[in-house]
Structure 1
Amino acid sequence: MSTAPTTPVSPAPVWDVINGFTSYWALSTALDLGLFDALAKDVDSGTGLDAGQLAAAIGATEPGQVTVLAETLVALDLLSAAEDRFLLTPAAERFLVSTAPASMATLVRYSPGPPAAWPGLAETIRTGAPAPAVTAELAGLYPALVRATGPTQAGVATAVAAELERRGWWPEQPTIVDLGCGSGAWTTALLRSRPNGTAIAVDLPNVLPIAEQAAVDLGLGDRLIGVAGDYLEVPLPVSTADVVILAHVLRAEPAERARQLLARAVELAGANGVVVVVDYPRPDPARPRHDGDEDRNAVCTAARHELLLSLTMLASTAGLGVTVADLHAWAEAAGAELVDSFEPIPRQHVRLIRSRTPEATS
């Protein structure tokens, strides 16, 4: 009897993870060198730069070394190559050039959180909490991090305002409450779309001035009320907000605080307001599989981005990320319901929650 040949097990998944570390540093190094900005200066010609020209533009001495880096970026779909010349891809032009309106160039540096969090992740999982030094480092890093998220969140906020208007949930003189306002991107974007609106922006004392200054810079300072402190504890007007924003805050909190925060947002919105939750939901808890259910492997693969960001939270905060099942349960407990979800920008998940009272559902 002949034995059918077996397919050898590939180490590719292991190499992909190892190379993920290298990929991050390839991108980070290119940003440090100003490589994308150098190519952006030539973008109108459409011809790109060869390795020698690129080396000269970024102040490098060896074109051969620049070639290795640039070709790696081509392999990562962050540059394109035309013979011996390198050009920006559309994604790089939009998100990695430092002066682009939607630039993520600074976010690349800060999104992974404190560097010390990652070598200590095993101990964090053993003990159930990050080391105090990691938590302290995150607190110091947070102002820079929220500034870095601003361009992306401004785009999401503008799209959400348009969606709320389409649904008839965006009055001409709205009252906005932004819990964990960060850079102020949400507050300022919403105020700019409604010249007669007012906003209450809440964040920690070392972060709130960033949002307040952003409003002043845009001529919106007189329409923003800043409130410094813990968003679960500071006094706020109940049932008066037309829109309450929870943008990327629930996933950084332990489950009980996240539940309380959503309940408070529902209370602030009252019967006729809407709570806007923006986050990266990880998969709902596993359950016994039934016919027609999606395989758990496929579920996790599809949620790779969201799971990696949840792990980022775990590495440096008390949060584990948030699931859609959590949002449904917490909303129901608060007398509200998750009424819809959409993705205005790729990988930016928005969920709308409204009170279940007759006034809101009539």
Structure 2
Amino acid sequence: MSTATTTPVGPAPVWDVINGFTSYWALSAALDLGLFDALAEDAEDAERADGGGLDAVRLAAAIGADGPGPVTVLAETLVSLGLLAADEDRFRLTPVAERYLVSTAPASMAALVHHSPGPPGAWPGLADTIRSGAPEPTVTADLTELYPALVRATGPTQAAVATAVAAELERRGLWPEQPVVVDLGCGSGAWLTSLLRTRPKGTVIAVDLPNVLPIAERAATDAGLRERVIAVPGDYLEAALPVTSADVVVLAHVLRAEPAERARRLLARAVELVGADGVVVVVDYPRPDPARTGHDTDGDDRDGVCRAARHELLLSLTMLAATAGLGVTVADLRAWAEAAGAELTDSFEPVPRQHVRLIRSRTSEATS
């Protein structure tokens, strides 16, 4: 008779999910309170003899809180999440918080924290959305109202990605001195302004919905590049363009929000625009391919693949909760490109968790 015992299964994964909700609201509250900005202002005083940082009393005063007790609980929670550092009785920014959570930082995600989950009403109704296959009309309407603020919030992150992609295109010989760029779903204008900064003699045709396009136009104006941008309002599948060909077409974070047929048609339009010599730049968060989440001949384990793609899967679920999209897979991109007479030629990650794919015609010089 065996005396071996098994370790009881604990509830840690369940608590991790529950606490994920709490973690999000801890960060959201800290941003609403200006906690990271207050610590950033303190850090600017480099001459302080005590080395900087704020204790709970001074931090409470800086953010207008009633007393140090609640602030201590919040700040220590942020320490546990890696968003603050603690030194004896003082709290300081971590490098991540300094770069991404201070509102004035060039790469700030402070606004994105609030808007990236989409309409708040989408989440309580997720089960009904899965049953019916589509979000409630009220959720769709809320997303339409939210969208201008959301695209503005993506600007700092996408500017860094676009700048890195421009350098990569130049390295690959795909970035002419006077490029014609079509940005389908231009959003905040981060892509068009970042690309034009590296090629100020270029031209960008910027396409987006009428309630969003002015945001990109303002970004171009603020950057002194408005004369290089042709703004085209409308559906990026239907809008008439002032050019018949382009050197580069950008599809940045748009395919995953579309149903498969519209996404396929959008990629086909992009491939047609770049012709034999141009390149389609697809930026998205691809969820795992169906083949990779099974026990295929390559030995990929579905459990491990899904765990590795947690970020991408959660963003795909965000799409499902509020849009007609289910995310996109690399297999989708390959199939849609092939149907349009093109192929996926390169993939790289210029900024962590920002996946870029290049698609070119099969007749291009690079693939001949």
TM-score range, shorter chain: over 0.9
Residue 129 in 1 paired to residue 134 in 2? yes
Q: CA deviation at 1:361?
A: 3.2
> Could you say what secondary structure the match of 1:261 adopts?
helix
Secondary structure at the aligned position of 1:161 is classed as helix
Q: Does 1:184 align with 2:200?
A: no
Local SS of the residue matching 2:42: coil
Q: Which amino acid aligns with 2:264?
A: R
Identity %: 80
CA contact 1:237–1:268 (8 Å) conserved in 2: no
- Equivalent position SS for 1:42: helix
- Contact map agreement 2:294 2:302 (CA 8 A) in 1: no
Give the drift of 1:235. 1.4
Deviation at 1:88, TM superposition (A): 0.3
Kindly state the Cα deviation for residue 236 of structure 1 after the two structures are TM-superposed: 2.1
Matches within 5 A, 1:303-318: 303-318=309-324
Q: In the TM superposition, what is the alpha-carbon distance from 1:237 to its structure 2 partner?
A: 5.2
Aligned residue for 1:116, secondary structure, equals helix
2:73 is matched with which residue: 68, 77, 90? Answer: 68
CA distance in 1, matches of 2:298, 2:337: 28
Deviation at 1:62, TM superposition (A): 1.4
Question: Hey, what's the Cα distance between the residues in 1 that align with 2:205 and 2:243?
Answer: 12
| Amino acid in structure 2 at the alignment position of 1:357 | T
Which segment drifts farther, 143-152 or 2-11? Answer: 2-11
Measure, in 2, the Cα distance between the counterparts of 1:66 and 1:120: 33
Pick one of 138, 162, 171 that aligns with 1:157.
Answer: 162
Distance in 2 (CA, whole Å) between partners of 1:211 and 1:238 is: 19
The match for 2:30 is 30
How far the C-alpha of 1:357 sits from its partner, in A, is: 1.3
Query: CA shift at 1:221, angstroms?
Result: 0.7
RMSD over aligned CA atoms reads 1.2
SS at match of 1:97: coil
Given candidates 114, 123, 128, the residue that maps to 2:119 is 114
Counterparts in 2 of 1:174-323, with a 5 A limit? 174-236=179-241, 240-286=245-291, 288-290=294-296, 292-323=298-329
Q: Distance in 1 between matches of 2:355 and 2:82?
A: 24
Look up the match of 1:99: 104
Alpha-carbon contact 1:177-1:200 (below 8 Å) kept: yes
Contact 1:239 1:270 survives alignment (8 Å): no
Q: How far is 1:43 from its partner?
A: 1.5
Query: How many Å separate the matches in 2 of 1:359 and 1:344?
Result: 24
**Judging changes above 3 Å, is the alpha-carbon distance between structure 1 residues 196 and 130 closer, same or farther for their aligned structure 2 residues?**
same
Could you tell me which amino acid in structure 1 is paired with residue 359 of structure 2?
I
AA at the equivalent of 2:225: L
Cα pair distance change 1:269/1:284, threshold 3 Å: same
Partners of 1:141 and 1:204 in 2: CA distance? 13
Mapped to 2, the partners of 1:2 and 1:307 lie a distance apart of 42
SS of the residue corresponding to residue 337 of structure 1 reads: strand
Instruction: Give the structure 1 partner of residue 360 of structure 2.
Output: 354
* CA shift for structure 1 position 154: 0.3
Does residue 3 of structure 1 match 2:3?
A: yes
2:265 partner amino acid: Q
Instruction: Give the aligned partner of residue 39 of structure 1.
Output: 39
Could you say which residue in structure 2 is the equivalent of 1:18?
A: 18
Letter in 2 for 1:50: D
* Structure 2 residue identity aligned to 1:23: S
Match of 1:82 in 2: 87
Look up the match of 2:150.
145
Deviation at 1:239, TM superposition (A): 5.1
How big is each residue's C-alpha offset from its partner over 1:282-330, in whole Å with a ceiling of 9 and x where there is no partner?
Answer: 0001465246512100000000000000000000000000000000000
Match of 1:167 in 2: 172
Question: Matches of residues 325-340 of structure 1 in structure 2 within 5 Å?
Answer: 325-340=331-346
**290 and 140 in structure 1: CA distance in 2 versus 1, 3 angstrom threshold:** closer
Q: Secondary structure at the match of 1:37?
A: helix
Q: TM-score w.r.t. structure 1 length?
A: 0.98
- Between the aligned partners of 1:295 and 1:7, the Cα distance in structure 2 is 24
Q: How many residues were matched structurally?
A: 362
Instruction: Say if 1:118 and 1:244 are closer, same or farther in 2 by CA, change over 3 A.
Output: same
